[in-house]
């Protein structure tokens, strides 16, 4: 069974959680949490690194012990350290940690005193009024716990697109290699590049009697078969992700692809258009009376409805159909339009590769420029740069640029925006840079007016160029900080500075809705990888997907500009 980074990260997180409940050494716990984060954010598969015999200890915070555990997980699918903890503690107890207000101490007490081991038992204990009796709990806490558990139990689970991609990219070749399969494609919200997906919808063209269904059911990562028939089946994978498979004829493939790509709202709008023209649209084709006038090919399905083909990312019934009818669909930005990346880190702070390694990797992607933007000193955890180290890096960049061919390194910084809106480095340190990215990394809790003012003030700084990950959210784990994004975007317009769409899989920030706001307000967006390793440039495709969902064209994106034009734009922002 192929092991994905998400599996390794989940194993380490679970170990850390269980150790916390056992009240183990905090340093040990932190080492596992750190490893889970590093692996979870890595732009390449640990499995491939192990297969190639690469040194896992090159990853930050990974020593002999963790490297050995990673190899063990990749090789055997198991981790003895976790199994040992499972033998000592109830299996589902870590779920309790995800209830707001419950830390390891309380979970331990609930388990020891009330024998609560699962969310259901927790809810029952709360309903019975048993929790309030425990020292340090009380009736109010009990009520809060009950509410949180019930909300949690009813919440439908969605999975990050980037995580789903790891699973889809193993499953698709597995299905494609079955006898009689002509084509495999993932439709649904995955194809529309939503930032999270509820399940995967996979479409297959296969001849009658093909082995694809049997192969799907036999997939090693499958945990449970929910339903199974000759042309459709649903399986839940071990990670909880549901996969719906449909086998269709080549003659209906385009119509099925259109139907199962959705969204539902887009489908309904298309069907209405068909009806207006006396046609019928369903998952088998476009029909006039009993004649199928289109079906095999998605472009032809749209054409039969009198429309140009609409890119999947647009299919949300958010104006794309009217735009298509008027022949005014946007020419969406593509990965190949990017000429460079304006936000990366190196070994000087918390990155894994050197300046030169990052430059060569960027050049390998066809980029003509790459901005080096380390953290500033305030982020001590990430070894942020002070003025002296920044100056040294600038010198190193100058020396390297003199020898590099085909790629130019730009000098930048990801400087912390302090609580009062000032920047973490003095003007004298920033003056020499080509660009200054400002970022909020602290005090996410400021009230809306204060948070907004803080960011506006930072933008007014004479050297400020670009606002990094503008809302600060981390997908499914940290909500955006409370700030007036429209005001921030309008201020960026007046100030002439830019916004980032950070393509890091945990972030995808600018959010979907703000991308459109930026476009409408005329603020250029930089789609950046925030790479901490040369493999992380792979994140860019998810940033591109997010941008496309909100209609961004190459012209709306800063780093589609050629270097001379980019330099001109960056210089214009300085005061
Ligand atoms: P998800 O899985 O929640 O992230 O979102 P989707 O869009 O992948 O939704 P899903 O998996 O329930 O269904 C896949 C596609 O199938 C959906 O985008 C459109 C189509 N579909 C599903 N149910 C209906 C329906 O009741 N009417 C129409 N017109 N289309 C539907
Ligand atoms: Ca789906
Ligand atoms: Ca589905």
pLDDT at 69: 96
pLDDT at 208: 75
To the nearest whole percent, how much of the chain has pLDDT over 90?
83
Give the ligand at the shortest distance from the Cα of 226.
3
Give the ligand at the shortest distance from the Cα of 234.
3
| Tokens 């005193």, residue located | 113
The pTM for the full model equals 0.79
Residue 363, token pair as written in the block: 């050049």
Could you tell me whether strands 181-186 and 222-228 are parallel, antiparallel, or unpaired per DSSP bridges? unpaired
**Mean pLDDT value of segment 275-283:** 97
Least confident residue range of 1-10, 79-88, 167-176, 252-261? 1-10
Q: What's the whole-number average pLDDT of the chain?
A: 94
pLDDT class for 60, splitting at 50, 70, 90?
confident
| Residue 64 neighbours by CB under 8 Å, 6+ apart | 57
pLDDT at 505: 86
Least confident residue range of 176-180, 458-462, 472-476, 542-546? 472-476
**Mean pLDDT value of segment 411-437:** 98
pLDDT tens digit string along 431-482? Answer: 999 999 999 999 999 999 999 999 999 999 999 999 999 999 998 778 899 9
479 CB within 6 A, ligand 1: no
DSSP three-state, residue 515: helix
pLDDT class for 375, splitting at 50, 70, 90?
very high
**Three-state secondary structure along 82-131?**
HHHHHHHCCCCCHHHHCCCCCCHHHHHHHHHHHCCCCHHHHHHHHHCCCH
Residue 21, token pair as written in the block: 């409940």
pLDDT tens digit string along 313-329? Answer: 999 999 999 999 999 99
Q: Which CATH code fits 252-325?
A: 3.30.210.10
pLDDT at 155: 63
200 CB within 6 A, ligand 1: no
Asked if the 5-154 domain carries CATH number 2.40.30.10, the reply is no
pLDDT > 80? residue 92: no
pLDDT tens digit string along 469-517? Answer: 999 999 877 889 999 999 999 999 999 999 999 999 889 999 988 999 9
487 CB within 6 A, ligand 1: no
528 CB within 6 A, ligand 1: no
pLDDT > 90? residue 418: yes
268 CB within 6 A, ligand 1: yes
Fold of 335-573: TIM Barrel (3.20.20)
198 CB within 6 A, ligand 1: yes
Helix (H) or strand (E) holding 563: helix 563-573
pLDDT > 90? residue 91: no
Give the ligand at the shortest distance from the Cα of 260.
1
Boundaries of every domain in the chain:
5-154, 159-247, 252-325, 335-573
Q: Which residues of 399-435 are buried (b: 16+ CB within 10 A; e: fewer)?
A: ebeeebeebbbbbbbbbbbbeebebbbeeebbeebbb
Direct distance between the N- and C-terminal alpha carbons of the chain, in angstroms, rounded to an integer: 57
- Asked, colleague to colleague, whether 5-154 and 252-325 share their fold, the answer is no
Residue 369, token pair as written in the block: 């420029």
pLDDT at 149: 85
Give the ligand at the shortest distance from the Cα of 281.
1
β partners of residue 467: 438, 499
pLDDT > 80? residue 2: no
Which numbered atom of ligand 1 lies nearest the CA of 197? Answer: 4
Which of 167, 189, 194, 280 for mutating ligand 1's site (highest number of atoms within 8 Å of CB)? 189
CA distances to 40, 103, 118, 123, 134 from 21, rounded to whole Å, are 23, 8, 14, 19, 17
| Distance between CA atoms of residues 361 and 178, nearest Å | 35
Write down the architecture of domain 159-247 according to CATH: 2-Layer Sandwich (3.30)
| Closest CA to ligand 1's atom 31 | 264
Residue 295, token pair as written in the block: 């079906």
β partners of residue 186: 202
To the nearest whole percent, how much of the chain has pLDDT over 70?
99
pLDDT > 70? residue 156: no
**Mean pLDDT value of segment 221-250:** 92
DSSP string, 172-224: HHHHHTSTTEEEEEE-HHHHTT-SEESEEEEEEEE-TT-SHHHHHHT-TTEEE
User: Could you tell me the distance, in angstroms and rounded to a whole number, from the CA of residue 225 to the centre of ligand 3?
Assistant: 14
263 CB within 6 A, ligand 1: yes
Which numbered atom of ligand 1 lies nearest the CA of 158? Answer: 4
Least confident residue range of 144-148, 167-171, 245-249, 367-371? 144-148
Give the residue among 104, 4, 90 at the shortest CA–CA distance from 47.
Answer: 4
Q: Are 463 and 497 in contact (CB under 8 A)?
A: no
**Mean pLDDT value of segment 176-203:** 96
pLDDT at 154: 63
User: Could you tell me the distance, in angstroms and rounded to a whole number, from the CA of residue 186 to the centre of ligand 3?
Assistant: 11
**Mean pLDDT value of segment 171-190:** 96
User: Could you tell me the distance, in angstroms and rounded to a whole number, from the CA of residue 317 to the centre of ligand 1?
Assistant: 13
DSSP three-state, residue 144: helix
pLDDT > 90? residue 40: no
User: Could you tell me the distance, in angstroms and rounded to a whole number, from the CA of residue 33 to the centre of ligand 3?
Assistant: 33
């Amino acid at each position: 069974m192929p092991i994905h980074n998400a599996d390794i990260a989940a194993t380490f997180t679970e170990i850390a959680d269980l150790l916390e409940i056992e009240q183990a050494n905090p340093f040990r716990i932190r080492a596992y949490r750190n490893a889970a984060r590093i692996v979870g954010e890595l732009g390449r598969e640990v499995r491939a690194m192990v297969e190639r015999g690469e040194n896992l200890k090159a990853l930050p915070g990974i020593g002999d012990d963790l490297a050995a555990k990673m190899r063990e997980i990749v090789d055997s699918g198991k981790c003895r350290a976790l199994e040992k903890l499972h033998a000592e503690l109830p299996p589902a107890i870590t779920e309790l940690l995800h209830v707001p207000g419950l830390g390891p101490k309380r979970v331990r007490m609930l388990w020891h005193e009330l024998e609560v081991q699962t969310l259901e038992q927790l809810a029952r204990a709360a309903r019975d009024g048993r929790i309030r009796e425990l020292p340090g709990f009380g009736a109010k806490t009990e009520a809060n716990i009950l509410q949180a558990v019930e909300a949690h139990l009813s919440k439908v689970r969605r999975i990050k697109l980037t995580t789903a991609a790891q699973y889809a990219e193993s499953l698709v070749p597995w299905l494609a290699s079955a006898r009689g399969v002509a084509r495999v494609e993932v439709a649904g919200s995955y194809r529309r590049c939503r930032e999270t997906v509820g399940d995967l919808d996979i479409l297959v063209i296969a001849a009658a009697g093909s082995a694809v269904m049997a192969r799907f059911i036999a997939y090693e990562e499958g945990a449970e078969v929910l339903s199974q028939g000759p042309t459709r089946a649903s399986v839940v994978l071990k990670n909880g992700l549901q996969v719906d498979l449909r086998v269709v004829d080549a003659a209906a493939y385009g119509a099925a692809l259109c139907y199962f790509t959705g969204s539902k709202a887009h489908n309904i709008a298309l069907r209405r258009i068909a009806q207006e023209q006396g046609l019928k649209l369903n998952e088998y084709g476009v029909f006039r009376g009993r004649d199928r006038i289109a079906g095999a090919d998605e472009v032809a399905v749209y054409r039969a409805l009198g429309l140009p083909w609409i890119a999947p990312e647009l299919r949300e019934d958010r104006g794309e159909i009217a735009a298509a009818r008027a022949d005014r669909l946007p020419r969406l930005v593509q990965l190949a339009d990017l000429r460079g990346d304006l936000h990366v880190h190196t070994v000087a702070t918390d990155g894994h590769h050197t300046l030169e390694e990052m430059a060569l990797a960027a050049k390998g992607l066809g980029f003509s420029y790459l901005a080096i933007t380390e953290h500033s000193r305030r982020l001590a955890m990430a070894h942020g740069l002070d003025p002296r180290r920044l100056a040294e890096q600038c010198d190193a960049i100058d020396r390297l640029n003199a020898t590099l061919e085909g790629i130019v390194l730009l000098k930048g910084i990801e400087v912390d925006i302090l609580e009062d809106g000032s920047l973490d480095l003095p003007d004298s340190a920033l003056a020499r840079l080509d660009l200054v990215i400002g970022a909020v990394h602290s005090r996410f809790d400021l009230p809306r007016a204060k948070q907004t003012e803080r960011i506006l003030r930072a933008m007014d700084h004479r050297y400020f160029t670009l606002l990094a990950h503008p809302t600060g959210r981390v997908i499914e784990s940290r909500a955006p900080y409370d700030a007036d994004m429209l005001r921030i975007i309008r201020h960026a317009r007046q100030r002439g500075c830019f916004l980032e769409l950070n393509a890091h899989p945990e972030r995808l920030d600018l959010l979907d809705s703000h991308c459109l706001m930026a476009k409408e307000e005329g603020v250029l967006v930089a789609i950046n990888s925030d790479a901490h390793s040369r493999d992380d440039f792979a994140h860019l495709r998810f940033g591109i997907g997010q941008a496309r969902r909100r209609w961004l064209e190459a012209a709306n994106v800063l780093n589609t500009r050629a270097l001379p034009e980019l330099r001109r734009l960056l210089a214009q922002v300085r005061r």
